[in-house]
Amino acid sequence: MDAKDKRIAELEEIIKNLLEKIAQLEAEIAILKKHSGNSSKPPSSDIVKPAKNKDRRRKKRKSGTQKEHKKHTRTPFDESQVDKIIEVKLECCPQCKGTITPTNIPPKIDQQVDYAGKTLTITEYRRPHYHCGHCERHCMDKRRTIFVSSRFVVG
């Protein structure tokens, strides 16, 4: 036997060993892939619980306003229908407590309807916009300080 024949014999032996190893690993993989979902094994024999498919739980859309939909709002009551108008003013900037000045931006208007017995009381809250000279922010009174949860709000 010359050098080529020896090398061929060595390589054939290596290939034979590798093929045996591949067969052994494939058998191990087949055993490991068995679980209660694809065999008659009970669920308690599963080594690790299979991961749940996240695609089934994923929502098609995000919660809240959708980009392609236009905003739906009720038309506010006419000023002649409003029983009480309250202008909610700020004394100072809620962020830095600095001095504020009113801006030319129209005020945010919220209308609240109180139902007591057979009478309706419509109250309009006007929250003007302010500018803080100290922190250079625009601010207005927060809505949650005005309303009681048992009332209907329009706006």
Task: Give the mean pLDDT per block of 10 residues along the chain (155 residues).
Answer: 89 96 92 77 70 63 78 83 86 85 87 81 86 85 56 50
Residue 72 forms part of a structural domain? no
Residue 11 forms part of a structural domain? yes
pLDDT of residue 50: 60
pLDDT tens, position by position, 139-148: 887 765 455 5
Domain identity same for 53 and 89:
no
Domain identity same for 49 and 97:
no
- Gap between the Cα atoms of 77 and 152, Å rounded: 13
What domain range includes position 126?
A: 84-154
pLDDT tens, position by position, 80-107: 889 888 888 888 888 888 888 888 888 8
Q: Which residues contact 97 (CB under 8 A, 6 or more apart)?
A: none
Dihedral Cα 16, 20, 22, 24, nearest 10 deg: 180
Domain identity same for 51 and 88:
no
Residue 62 forms part of a structural domain? no
- Gap between the Cα atoms of 69 and 19, Å rounded: 61
Domain count for the chain, please give it. 2
CB 86 within 8 A of CB 145: no
CB 142 within 8 A of CB 103: no
